[in-house]
Amino acid sequence: MLTKLVESLVEFGHGCRVRVVAEGVETAGEAAALRTLGVDYGQGWHHGRPGPAEALTAIPGYRVPSPRDRRTAVATP
């Protein structure tokens, strides 16, 4: 039943032209299953342990959108 729920959420998200993020991914098996179901991104212990903000590295060319940008932006898959 959980698989059907994830499939439905992925279908809904992609139908709205947004990317789907799974939170709380704990194992490689969970990550693989979620990718098979079409989940775009994952977050959780499987992908990396939490750390201090200072440990984050900048992504070249990436800019955090302002609230004004969010009102006019169109999400793309």
Range of the domain at 38: 2-49+62-72
40: in domain: yes
77: in domain: no
Evaluate if residue 77 carries a pLDDT over 80: no
User: Is residue 39 a contact partner of residue 20, using CB atoms and an 8 Å limit?
Assistant: yes
Give residue-wise pLDDT tens across range 40-53: 999 999 988 888 87
45: in domain: yes
17: in domain: yes
The secondary structure of residue 53, as a DSSP letter, is G
pLDDT band, very low/low/confident/very high, at 69 (cuts 50, 70, 90) = low
11: in domain: yes
Question: Which of 33, 27, 59, 32 is closest to 45 using CA atoms?
Answer: 27
The secondary structure of residue 51, as a DSSP letter, is -
56: in domain: no
Total domains in the chain come to 1
Q: Would you state the pLDDT for residue 75?
A: 52
User: Is residue 6 a contact partner of residue 39, using CB atoms and an 8 Å limit?
Assistant: yes
pLDDT band, very low/low/confident/very high, at 56 (cuts 50, 70, 90) = confident
